[in-house]
Amino acid sequence: MGKQKKTRKYATMKRMLSLRDERLPQHPSCLFFQYNTQLGPPYHILVDTNFINFSIKAKLDLVQSMMDCLYAKCIPCITDCVMAEIEKLGQKYRVALRIAKDPRFERLPCAHKGTYADDCLVQRVTQHKCYIVATVDRDLKRRIRKIPGVPIMYISNHRYNIERMPDDYGAPRF
């Protein structure tokens, strides 16, 4: 029988994680009790390419339907990458392009390389948590759900719905 090793008390304190450890999740200061304090009317809504296309198919007016969903003023925002993606789709999607060029839409310039719209939207939402993301794309929804404090707007039953919106903001619950 060998001598049993005993761990000293000061070694247990050394093994504890410090508050500045990289392995701990870093939450931004705008998330207060898991609610995003930067969200509030007028809502800035980042619009994806397929959201515009599905809105046209469902015969929904984008701005009016957003206001009906959120009961507040909405400013749809479209990035350069999304605009480039709509332009690449060609003549078949000219109605979507005309809607995207509406003066009520706010244009957001992109400073990164490439024109992949999903990466652009995820990057922008990660940096600035003041946006709601409007998309129908399952993969993009899955990526955005991993980011805390970012609501997602989607289309179901010929109307807009929103998920992960705090009750305090007066968003409808269905």
User: pLDDT tens-digit profile of 67-112?
Assistant: 999 888 999 999 999 999 999 998 999 999 999 999 999 999 988 8
Domain ranges of the chain: 46-168
Task: For residue 141, name the pLDDT band (cuts at 50, 70, 90).
Answer: very high
Phi and psi at residue 159, in whole multiples of 5°? Answer: -155, 165
- 42's CB contacts (< 8 A; 6+ apart) are 72, 73, 74, 75
Q: Are 108 and 119 in contact (CB under 8 A)?
A: no
**Contact (Cβ atoms closer than 8 angstroms) between residue 34 and residue 149:** yes
Q: What percent of the chain has pLDDT over 90?
A: 51
Q: Cα(122)–Cα(20) distance, rounded to whole angstroms?
A: 25
Q: Does domain 46-168 have CATH number 3.40.50.1010?
A: yes
By the 8 A CB rule, do 124 and 131 touch? Answer: yes
